[in-house]
A and B are shown apart, each in its own frame.
Chain A
C-alpha cells in the first residue's frame, strides 16, 4: 500500500454568484504516491473544478467553502494548501504540483518562443541557475519529450497540435514535480497522436516517478491506463475504486450507466471492450 501524497477531506467549492452554485460537494479522497488516479464524469460534473480547486487555481467568484487539502511532501513535510498565502502558493506551484493543460491553440504565449517559456520556469523557481544551465535544462526537457532541442526557438503557432502537447508536458516536467494534474491532455488530438502522447506519459512516469491525476470524460481510456478511478457526478465522488473493480463490478448505478454508454464495436449492449 503506497503512502499518501495528497489527502483531501470534505473539500467543497462554490461559485459566489446569485444564487450561489455548489460546484464540488464534500469530496474526500486520497491520492497515493506514484499512482495514476483517473477522474471521470460527464461535462459539468465538477471534475475540472475539483482539480483546479485543489491547486487553488480557480478565479473569483469561485471560493473554497470547506475542507482541507494536505500535500505530503517527499521531504516528510505536510503542507496545508488552503493555509498558504499568495507568495507561498506561488512558490509551491509548479514545483510540487504541476499541470498539463489541453494544448489548445492558446495555452502557450503566442509571442514568446517555447524555449523562453520553458526557461522562465527556471528563472522564477530556480534563480540560482545560470543562463547556460537553464539552456541546458530546456534542451534536455525537449529531448525527453522528443520534440528536439533545435525547436527551442520556435513559436507556438509553428508547431502542430501533438508537438504543442509535448511542449506542455515538458513544461510540466521542468521542476520534477511530485504530482502532475493532466486536464484532458489528449482530447483535442487525433487518435494516433493520442496514443503517442499517452505512451510518452507512461514512460515519463516510469522514469521520473511522479503521481498523475488524469481528468477526462473518456472512461474507457482511464480503464486502460489508471490504477484507480474516481467517478464524479454533480460535484460529488460517487465511486472510487481500482480500475479492475470498476470495470468488472461497478457498485454505483451511475458508474454502470457511464460504462454502458460507450458503444461497442460489435453492436452488443453492455460494457465496451477496447
Chain B
C-alpha cells in the first residue's frame, strides 16, 4: 500500500457530515418509546371501546328476558344481585351515566358477577379455570403453525419455480375448509375409526387437574387432535403470506448486493431476505389474532375442550348473561394483550420504528 500525499483536507466531524438533520441527535434510544406509546394509547382506547360495547349489549336485549332471568334465581346474595343488576342493565332507576360509572367501578374491582350456570360461583373464578386451557392450546398451536408456515413460506419463496410451489395450493385448500368440519372429520377418522385419540375433553374422565406425569400425558394425548387441526387449517395462510413477501423482497437491491458480496445462499435467504419479509407477517399475525380466537371457540365446542370458547357457548345456550358478558370481556382483553406482545416484538425487530430524528 503506497500512500501518495493526498490533497489537504479540512477536518470534518464525521457525525456532522453524516446526517442531514438540521439538529444533530447525539443520543439514540434503543427502545422505541414513541412507537410503543402510540400503540399503548390505541390499545387503551380499544379496551375502553370493548368495555362500552359490553355495557350496552345486555341493555339492547329485550328487558323482560333479563328480568325473568334474575327472578328465576332466588339464591343470589344481595350483593351479587346488585352487581348483576348493574352488569345487566336492570338498574333503570339510575341515569345511564350513573349506570356506566357503576359498571366500570365493578370491573375495576374485578367483579364480573356470578354465574348462574355454574352454581353461583363468581364469573371471574369460572373464567379463570377455563382460560389456561384455551391459552395453552391455542397459543401452542398458533405458534407452531406460524413458525412452520413462515419458515416454509420462506423456503418456497426462495426456490421459485420448483416443485415446492405445489405446497401453496395444497395448504391454502386446507385453509378454506371450515375449522369445525376439519375437526369433526379428524374425530371421525382418528378417534372413532382408528381409535388413536380420545374423542374430546382435555383429560380423561375422573381425573383431577394436578401436576403429575400421568395427568400431563393425558393432556398431551387429548390435546393432540385439536392442536393438529388448528395447525393444519391455519398453516396455509402463513405460508402464502410469507411466500408472497419473499417474492417481493427477493427483488430488492440489498439482496443482490448481498449476493455480489459473495454471501452464501443460506445467509442471503435467512439474514437478508427472510429477516425482512417476516416483518409484515408479524403485523398480519397481530391483526389476525381476533380471527384465531373465533376459530378456537368453534374448535373447543367440537372437541368439548374446557376452554373459554366452550364456556361462552354453554352460557349462550343457557342464557347466563353475566357469564356471557364476562367471557366476551376476557376474550377481548386477551386479544389486546396478544396484540401488544406482537407489537412489541415488531418494534424490536424493525429498527425503522426507532426513528428519533426530527
Contacts and interface: CB of A to CB of B under 8 A. Distances in A.
Given A206-B6, A209-B1, A163 B264 contact: no
Given A111-B351, A209-B1, A158 B357 contact: yes
A98 B263 CA distance: 13
Interface string A130-162: 000000000000000011101100010111111
A90 interface: yes
Contacts of A157: 351-352, 355
Nearest to B12: A146
B2 interface: yes
B18 A147 contact: yes
Given A121-B261, A206-B6, A207-B3, A160 B254 contact: no
Contact of A106 (B254, B260, B264, B267): B254
B252 A106 contact: yes
Contacts of B68: none
A159 B25 CA distance: 12
Contacts of B272: 109, 112
A197 B252 CA distance: 25
Contact of B349 (A107, A111, A160, A163): A111
Contacts of A111: 275-276, 279, 349-351
B257 A108 contact: yes
Nearest to B3: A207
A148 B276 contact: no
A265 interface: no
Contact of A148 (B7, B18, B28, B253): B18
Contacts of B357: 158
A21 B275 CA distance: 35
A160 B18 CA distance: 6
A270 interface: no
B20 interface: yes
A90 B262 CA distance: 5
Contacts of A203: 6-7
Nearest to B263: A124
A268 to B, nearest CB: 32
Contacts of A151: 14-15, 18
A184 interface: no
A176 B267 CA distance: 22
B260 A162 contact: no
A92 B261 CA distance: 10
B160 to A, nearest CB: 11
Nearest to B4: A206
Contacts of A101: 253, 257, 260
A91 to B, nearest CB: 7
B271 interface: yes
Contact of B267 (A91, A120, A161): A120
Interface in B149-207: none
A100 to B, nearest CB: 10
A146 B18 CA distance: 9
A59 to B, nearest CB: 8
Contacts of B247: none
Given A124-B263, A155-B352, A208-B1, A160 B257 contact: no
A94 B262 CA distance: 6
Nearest to B352: A157
A46 to B, nearest CB: 18
A83 interface: no
Interface string A176-211: 000000000000000000000001001100111100
A111 B18 CA distance: 19
Contacts of B355: 157-158
Interface in A45-74: 55, 57
Contacts of B17: 146-147, 162-163
Contacts of A120: 261, 263, 267, 271
A44 interface: no
Nearest to A196: B17
A104 interface: yes
A157 B3 CA distance: 34
A108 B254 contact: yes
Contacts of B7: 199, 203
Contacts of A95: 262
Contact of A110 (B3, B260, B261, B351): B351
B254 A107 contact: yes
A157 B356 CA distance: 11
Given A124-B264, A163-B17, A109 B351 contact: no
Interface string B281-310: 000000000000000000000000000000
B1 to A, nearest CB: 6
A120 B7 CA distance: 33
Given A90-B264, A109-B276, 12 more contacts: A109-B275, A113-B351, A120-B261, A120-B263, A124-B263, A148-B14, A150-B15, A155-B351, A157-B352, A161-B20, A163-B17, A203-B7
Interface of A: 55, 57, 90-95, 98-99, 101, 104, 106-113, 120-121, 124-125, 146-148, 150-151, 155, 157-163, 171, 199, 202-203, 206-209
User: Can you list the 4 inter-chain pairs with the closest CB atoms, starting with the nearest?
Assistant: A148-B14, A93-B262, A206-B4, A106-B253
23 contacts: A55-B260, A90-B263, A91-B262, A93-B260, A93-B261, A94-B260, A94-B262, A110-B254, A110-B352, A111-B349, A111-B350, A113-B351, A121-B262, A146-B14, A146-B17, A147-B14, A148-B18, A151-B18, A158-B355, A160-B20, A162-B17, A163-B17, A206-B3
